[in-house]
Structure 1
Amino acid sequence: MSISGITNIALSGMRAQTARVGAIANNIANSSTPDYARLNTSLTSTEPGVRAIVEPTTLNVDLATELTTMIEAEQSYKANAAIFETGADMWEMLMSIKRD
């Protein structure tokens, strides 16, 4: 796999986690709204990377679940960001070798 492929996969992971956090924020903001349909985010594998699908459900909003999912999304985003940074560092190293 190429460095650009790795960074693209990490970028898609960060985008998916951003969509996930957006859905969680919407659920928390509307937790006391009558007849609110909780948004559920599912992640699906694509070529290349991952994609978030946000769909309304019939479930009620549980703040403990939302906050736990928020922590999970944060950790996943950080992991993808670390991979992206490593790929960027590798590109920088290759460019400095090429210049010499």
Structure 2
Amino acid sequence: MSISGITNIALSGVRAQTTRVGAIANNVANSSTPDYARLNTSLTTVASGGVQATGNPTASDVDPATELTNLLEAEQSYKANATVFETGADMWEMLMSIKRD
């Protein structure tokens, strides 16, 4: 796998977690809205590598504890993907400096 492939996969993970956090925020904001359908985010793998997030309305009620747990999980996943992306960018920078020398 190439460095650009790894960074693209990490970037897709960052985007997926951003979508997930948006759904969580929407759930919390609408928790007291009558007949609100809670958004559940599904993560699916993409054939070219990476992950994609889609929000699906469910009939369940919004539970603040579940939303907080999901938010903490999304935060950790975001951080992990951001670290991989930064490492890939550092590797590119190192390769470019070697090429210039």
- Once residues 34 and 53 of structure 1 are traced to their aligned partners in structure 2, the CA distance between those partners, rounded to angstroms, is 23
Identity %: 80
Partner of 1:80: 81
2:82 counterpart of 1:61: no
- Once residues 18 and 77 of structure 1 are traced to their aligned partners in structure 2, the CA distance between those partners, rounded to angstroms, is 8
Per the TM alignment, residue 53 of structure 1 is displaced from its structure 2 partner at its CA by 1.1
Per the TM alignment, residue 59 of structure 1 is displaced from its structure 2 partner at its CA by 0.4
What is the identity, as a one-letter code, of the residue corresponding to 1:57? Answer: T
Per the TM alignment, residue 48 of structure 1 is displaced from its structure 2 partner at its CA by 1.7
What is the identity, as a one-letter code, of the residue corresponding to 1:6? Answer: I
2:11 counterpart of 1:11: yes
Cα deviations by residue, 1:51-95 (Å, 9 ceiling, x for unpaired): 001010000000000000000000000000000000000000000
- Once residues 48 and 72 of structure 1 are traced to their aligned partners in structure 2, the CA distance between those partners, rounded to angstroms, is 21
- Once residues 81 and 95 of structure 2 are traced to their aligned partners in structure 1, the CA distance between those partners, rounded to angstroms, is 21
Partner of 1:2: 2
- Once residues 75 and 9 of structure 1 are traced to their aligned partners in structure 2, the CA distance between those partners, rounded to angstroms, is 16
Partner of 1:43: 43
Structure 1 consecutive aligned stretches of length 4 or more whose deviation exceeds 4 Å: none
Question: What is the root-mean-square deviation of aligned Cα atoms in Å?
Answer: 0.4
Q: Give ranges in structure 2 of 5+ residues lacking alignment.
A: none
TM-score with structure 2 setting the length:
0.98
Aligned length: 100
